[in-house]
Amino acid sequence: MPGTDVRETVKAVTETLEKLPFLPELPARGPGADMVGRTAGALLAELYVRLEPSGWRVGDAPGRDTRRARAWLREDLDTLEEFTQGYTGALKVSAVGPWTLAASLERRSGEAMLGDAGACRYLAESLAEGVRGHLAEVRRRVPGATVVLQLDEPSLTAVLTGRVPTASGYRTHRAVDRAVVEQALRQVVAAARSTAGEAAGAAAGDSPVIVHSCAPGVPFALLRRAGAAGISFDLSLLTERDDEAIGEAVEGGTALFAGVVPGTDPPAGGLSDPAGSVMGVRTLWRRLGLSPGLLAESVAVTSACGLAGASPAYARAALAHCVRAARSLEDDPE
């Protein structure tokens, strides 16, 4: 989300989204509040990072950057707790997934962790442990909530296809084997689920995981095998090559989070027609021959990617527009 005022942002989110409010990220606050810095600095277990001119790099001990990231996360959780007193229902929190982290974090040499298989395994273990603790903390603060974890993996396709550049920019890292990618994702998903199983009165599996990728070529089948309960994507980037995997996902009970609302301010009047925003979803549904009755049950409406690049006014309007567009699917599934 845009801006630096977490109270105003959490207030807007919780007032607008009745079914799936979320803990916002406010990268405009600076390093440590950005997507990668927040996860690497505040969530990783026994793995510390510091900010270098080239980006986030693994360090030997928690320093100023780590402390700042953790302080902002505590402030955000305090605010979320305040605005969700008595709340029951789904509540979403986000973390960067293991492969986008591996492509983004530097080893001491300056090269990405992606280039070291052992470092990638250790990173996935650290993230899994950090996620387990983070979800337990959110559940403690909002005991009536079913906590949903979103893993942000914008670099996942590049990791699978060998398109992540090296530090020099002259080469790319080799593609990572799909089985290795799947295993690391499954490890983090399992950690999220085990947290729910340990909570009093909760059944294993009560903490579903959504994987978000706003890049083309989302590996739907791989994510399903890794245990993702939902897959979030930019609808405009789909091609007919994705049809079979999407149809299998829906029939297998996987939720689709269709990004149809622009993430930045569109021309005037661009959000005037909620039903028009989901026309592409309806077209996809008809092309796949799926039951119209499954549409509203299987699809959530979201922005195409994050809203951090939007104006605060537009970001609030976009959230409200998503709600209205989703209701149009419920009111008229045909």
Residues 44-87: tens digit of each pLDDT: 999 999 999 999 999 989 999 999 999 999 999 999 999 999 99
Domain that holds residue 319: 6-28+86-331
Residues 209-266: tens digit of each pLDDT: 999 999 999 999 999 999 999 999 999 999 999 999 999 999 999 999 999 999 999 8
The answer to the question of residue 65 being in a domain is no
Q: Is the pLDDT of residue 206 over 70?
A: no
CA distances from 280 to 233, 329, 334 (A): 13, 12, 13
CATH number, position 303: 3.20.20.210
From the list 137, 275, 135, the residue with the least C-alpha distance to 207 is 135
The answer to the question of residue 39 being in a domain is no
pLDDT computed for residue 331 by the predictor: 79
Structure tokens at 208: 């579903």
Residue with the two structure tokens 């009536």: 144
The answer to the question of residue 10 being in a domain is yes
pLDDT computed for residue 268 by the predictor: 72
From the list 101, 122, 115, 93, the residue with the least C-alpha distance to 56 is 101
Residues 149-196: tens digit of each pLDDT: 999 999 999 999 999 999 988 999 999 999 999 999 999 999 998 765
Distance (Å, whole) CA 110 – CA 65: 18
The answer to the question of residue 284 being in a domain is yes
Structure pTM? 0.94
pLDDT computed for residue 195 by the predictor: 65
From the list 2, 4, 9, 1, the residue with the least C-alpha distance to 82 is 9
Our CA angle for 230, 235, 239, nearest 5°, is 105
- Asked if 44 and 96 count as a contact pair (C-beta separation under 8 A), the reply is no
The answer to the question of residue 77 being in a domain is no
The answer to the question of residue 97 being in a domain is yes
Question: Which pLDDT band, with edges at 50, 70 and 90, does 203 fall under?
Answer: very low
pLDDT computed for residue 330 by the predictor: 86
Q: Is the pLDDT of residue 305 over 60?
A: yes
- Asked if 160 and 178 count as a contact pair (C-beta separation under 8 A), the reply is yes
The answer to the question of residue 167 being in a domain is yes
C-alpha 114: how far from chain center: 20
Strand 55-59 with 48-52, pairing: antiparallel
Number of domains in the chain: 1
- Asked if 320 and 250 count as a contact pair (C-beta separation under 8 A), the reply is no
3-state secondary structure of 92: strand
pLDDT computed for residue 193 by the predictor: 86
Ranges of beta strands (E only) in the chain are 48-52, 55-59, 89-96, 145-152, 209-213, 230-234, 255-261, 299-303
The answer to the question of residue 36 being in a domain is no
Q: 317: which residues sit within 8 A by CB, 6+ positions away?
A: 271
Structure tokens at 232: 């979030």
Question: Which pLDDT band, with edges at 50, 70 and 90, does 333 fall under?
Answer: low
Residues 18-37: tens digit of each pLDDT: 899 999 999 999 999 999 99
Residues in a beta bridge with 93: 149
Residues in a beta bridge with 172: 165
